């Protein structure tokens, strides 16, 4: 597989995904970033590495993934009794305890999605080499970007850290071999994301289909592969066959619906206990806040701050931030447009990190089940809190930030970035 050449990227158009400006991108040197001149969004970064490097990362990730599935990653011991946790133990115990939704959610984002993401990368990159049908590869690679934020191995490892600090005062805790596989998996996936040039993959997948000249219709930037099509709305993208829409449909209404639903659940998520801890026949419920207080009492300030930020600050910032962006967008405000676009980008990036507490509960439930001696069960607050996290991710995803610029009366213009 050859590396990207500068000539391969001579002059192409992109619609900025955050403000809708059409930009003409000239040839770039490897590592250079093309930024939108209006809102500063990175439109494209030409990667330095060869296409074989992300493939090697994906293969390494797959080996770590298989290993992580086969062995336990954490073991605890108390009064001569031991318990160990594998990736699937938490979801299984949550389901057995009557929290099926929570169990399924953890199962999907920690077991299914990382595997699917690695599978898509490996099949697409190997398929390009071996000449698998392009149509099949396109329909697979179309999902790569969509499922990426849902493969939450990085967040899971932080959840593990919090669970570990809670277990060490009560039990003999042993780290098991699969933990290193999970760390390897996270690092391989990060390296794969950093080195994979999606534009280059799309070019090689759809090269023969690219239109030679501009058509009559208004340009629409494809939300999946980025190609600027001159075709009417509702027609398929020439490169990846996704249906073209000038803006996300019913964007503001859907974003409001998810934000309001999440705001309603934010209250019970903080009032109800997220888990119950039984120790020596005494059961104590923990809300998000009392969990943090407990960490502070044990002198674990850094972990307490991490949980406070992930579980209380981020969800609140997301709700208030989304409401502010939606209200100002609907009113057609022309102020702070770059700032509001940046706020949207930040909300988009930080959202998934709120899952730390949910993963911590899943690991504690997996391990601590020694009857009256020590036992952990999930509770209503955890379901409400997980729903807040998921609904806010949906809200951010439903909103089209280009509307901030459209509604402020910015006519579409063309630019050379």
> Residues 13, 14, 15, 19: which binds Zn ion (CB under 5 A)?
19
Torsion-angle region of 383 (φ positive above 0: left; ψ -120 to 50: alpha; else: beta): alpha
Query: Is the CB of 36 or the CB of 60 nearer to Zn ion?
Result: 36
List the structure tokens of 131: 């000449």
Q: How many CA atoms does the CB half-sphere of 91 hold within 13 Å?
A: 15
* Binders in 37-56 for Zn ion, by CB under 5 A: 38-39, 41
Q: Within 10 A of 96 (CB to CB), how many other CB atoms are there?
A: 12
Max Cα distance, the chain (Å): 77
| Alpha-carbon torsion (411, 412, 414, 417), positive or negative | positive
Task: Tell me, by CB under 5 A, how many residues bind Zn ion.
Answer: 16
Q: How far is the CB of 38 from Zn ion (least distance, A)?
A: 5
Q: Could you please report the per-residue DSSP string of 332-400?
A: T--SSHHHHHHHHHHHHHHGGGGGHHHHHHHHHHHH-B-TTSEEEEE-HHHHHHHHHHHHHHHHHHH--
8 Å CB contact between 40 and 21? no
First-to-last alpha carbon distance for the chain, in angstroms, is 29
Q: How far is the CB of 231 from Zn ion (least distance, A)?
A: 11
Query: Is the CB of 9 or the CB of 107 nearer to Zn ion?
Result: 9
Q: How far is the CB of 221 from Zn ion (least distance, A)?
A: 9
Instruction: Compose the 209-248 pattern: x for residues touching Zn ion by CB under 5 A, - for all others.
Output: -------------x-xx-x---------x-xx-x------
Q: How far is the CB of 359 from Zn ion (least distance, A)?
A: 34
List the structure tokens of 88: 């699937």
Angle, alpha carbons 383-271-308 (nearest 5°): 80
Instruction: Compose the 345-374 pattern: x for residues touching Zn ion by CB under 5 A, - for all others.
Output: ------------------------------
Query: Is the CB of 80 or the CB of 133 nearer to Zn ion?
Result: 133
Query: Is the CB of 19 or the CB of 382 nearer to Zn ion?
Result: 19
Stretch that binds Zn ion, among 8-16, 118-126, 263-271, 363-371 (CB under 5 A): 8-16
Q: How far is the CB of 212 from Zn ion (least distance, A)?
A: 17
Query: Is the CB of 57 or the CB of 404 nearer to Zn ion?
Result: 404
Residues 354, 311: Cα–Cα separation, whole Å:
5
34 in contact with Zn ion (CB under 5 A): no
36 in contact with Zn ion (CB under 5 A): yes
- Which parts of this chain interact with Zn ion (CB under 5 A)? 16, 18-19, 21, 36, 38-39, 41, 222, 224-225, 227, 237, 239-240, 242
């Amino acid at each position: 597989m050859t590396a990207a050449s500068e000539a391969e990227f001579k002059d192409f158009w992109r619609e900025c995904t955050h403000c809708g400006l059409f930009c003409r991108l000239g040839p770039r040197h490897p590592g250079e970033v093309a930024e939108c001149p209006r809102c500063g969004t990175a439109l494209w970064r030409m990667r330095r590495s060869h296409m074989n490097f992300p493939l090697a990362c994906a293969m390494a990730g797959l080996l770590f993934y298989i290993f992580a599935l086969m062995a336990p990653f954490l073991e605890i011991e108390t009064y001569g009794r031991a318990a160990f946790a594998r990736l699937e133990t938490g979801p299984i115990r949550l389901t057995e305890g009557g929290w099926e939704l929570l169990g399924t959610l953890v199962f999907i984002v920690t077991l299914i999605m990382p595997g699917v993401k690695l599978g898509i990368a490996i099949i697409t990159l190997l398929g390009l080499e071996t000449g698998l049908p392009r149509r099949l590869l396109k329909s697979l690679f179309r999902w790569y970007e969509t499922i990426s934020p849902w493969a939450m191995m990085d967040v899971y490892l932080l959840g593990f850290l919090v669970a570990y600090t809670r277990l060490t005062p009560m039990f003999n805790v042993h780290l098991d071999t699969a933990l290193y596989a999970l760390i390897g998996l996270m690092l391989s996936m990060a390296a794969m994301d950093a080195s994979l040039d999606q534009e280059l993959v799309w070019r090689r997948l759809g090269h023969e289909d690219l239109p030679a000249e501009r058509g009559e219709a208004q340009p629409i930037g494809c939300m999946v592969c980025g190609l600027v099509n001159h075709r009417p709305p509702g027609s398929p993208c020439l490169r990846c066959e996704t249906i073209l829409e000038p803006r996300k449909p019913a964007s503001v209404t859907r974003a409001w619906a998810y934000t309001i639903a999440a705001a309603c659940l934010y209250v019970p998520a903080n009032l109800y206990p997220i888990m119950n801890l039984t120790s020596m026949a005494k059961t104590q419920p923990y809300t998000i806040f009392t969990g943090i207080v407990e960490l502070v009492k044990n002198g674990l300030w850094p972990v307490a701050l991490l949980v406070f930020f992930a579980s209380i600050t981020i969800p609140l910032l997301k709700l208030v931030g989304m409401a502010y962006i939606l209200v100002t967008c609907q009113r057609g405000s022309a102020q702070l447009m770059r700032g509001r676009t940046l706020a949207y980008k930040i909300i988009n990036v930080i959202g998934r990190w709120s899952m730390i507490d949910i993963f911590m509960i899943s690991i504690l439930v997996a391990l601590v089940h020694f009857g009256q001696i020590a036992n952990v069960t999930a509770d209503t607050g955890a379901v409400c809190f997980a729903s807040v996290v998921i609904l806010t991710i949906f809200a951010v995803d439903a909103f089209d930030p280009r509307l901030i610029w459209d509604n402020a009366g910015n006519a579409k213009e063309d630019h050379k970035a």
